Amino acid sequence: MEQTANNKTMKITVLRYRPEQDDKPWEQTFDVPYHHETSVLEALFYIKDHFEPSLSFRWSCRMAVCGSCGMMVNGVPHLACKTFLRDYEGKDMKIEPLDNFPIERDLVVDLSDLIEKIERIKPYIIPAPKDRNMPLNKSYIQTPQQMAAYLQFAQCINCGCCYAACPQYKLNPDYIGPAALTLLYRYNIDNRDGGKKLRAPFLNEENGVWGCTFVGYCSEVCPKKVDPASAIQLGKKMSATDFVLKLIKPEE
């Protein structure tokens, strides 16, 4: 980093919040040298190493796999590791913690609400009654098409970018939200799964798919191209079908 070829620098403003001292967040600006390959995450490392050792932020894999480094770059949710300073050439940069989540410290947010919601919708394969006693050494059979049906929705890394992009989650924190609803749909359409009934209450409720007004920004910002907006609309179709079927043939 020190030997930058053409000594380009960028003015980077970072939102700081230290729970011990501060009552509310404040901004701190740094001049960070960068070159063609500098990512936002590396810029933050530079700030931590050279200017402000107390700056806190989450990171792990540095290659858009772990989903730890989600943050707002100029107001848009991004993974810091796959966002590059070169794309903001000639502009200033403002880095804030992910929107719509409580700030724990500096760029670290409290994602426990997201985690709880993902847990709530039972994101795992629940065997159908006929498979309940299937031996563990016997495998399920799945055609390439059955796999392609859900594979895109299974790419989620739980980074929280879609929640930061979702105005409905901002307005109503009880809304289950894009990532969890996408996983709900992903497991519901998996041919190995038999847990549709157990997930139905979370799909059909007001805070389930019906909390969505199809803004579509979640799909726009998703770093893994999961397309949560699509999964939620398909979930709405699933829920509406359920609803109509129950009207025609009520259970019990």
Partner 1 sequence: MRQFLPTPSDEPIYWLMFGAGGMVAGIVLPSILVIMILAGLGSPDLATGLLNFEQVKGLLGNWLLAAMLFGIVFMLCFYSLHRMYHSTHDLGFHTKLFWFMAYGGAAALAFITLGLQLLIYFKLF
Partner 2 sequence: MSEAKSFRKPYKRPVDKLWWLKNKFFTVYMIREGTAVTALFAALEIILGIFLFGLCNLDAETATAETAAPYLWWVQDFLGNPLVIILNLVCLAASLFHAVTWFNLMPKAVRLFMNKNSTELLPDYIVKMGLYGALAGATVVILVFAVATI
> Which residues contribute to the site for partner 1 (CB under 8 A)?
167, 171-172, 200-202, 204-208, 210, 213, 236, 239-240, 242-244
Instruction: Give the angle 173-174-180 at the CA atoms, nearest 5°.
Output: 95
Calpha distance 68→219 (Å, rounded): 19
CA-to-CA separations, 194 to 5, 125, 155, in angstroms, rounded: 58, 7, 21
Number of residues that bind partner 2 (CB under 8 A): 35
Nearer CB in complex with partner 2: 23/251: 23
CA-to-CA separations, 103 to 44, 96, 100, 106, 168, in angstroms, rounded: 17, 10, 9, 7, 19
Nearest to 120 by CA among 66, 175, 189: 175
- 17 interacts with, out of partner 2, partner 1, none, CB within 5 to 8 A per kind: partner 2
- Within 13 A of 104's CA, how many CA atoms are on the CB side? 8
Residues 163-222 that bind partner 2 (CB under 8 A): 167, 170-171, 213-217, 219-220
- 243 interacts with, out of partner 1, partner 2, none, CB within 5 to 8 A per kind: partner 1
Coil/strand/helix, residue 28:
strand
- 230 interacts with, out of partner 1, partner 2, none, CB within 5 to 8 A per kind: partner 2
93 binds partner 2 (CB under 8 A): no
Sites of contact with partner 2 (CB under 8 A): 17, 19-20, 24-25, 75-76, 99, 102-104, 110, 143-145, 147-149, 167, 170-171, 213-217, 219-220, 227, 229-230, 233-234, 236-237
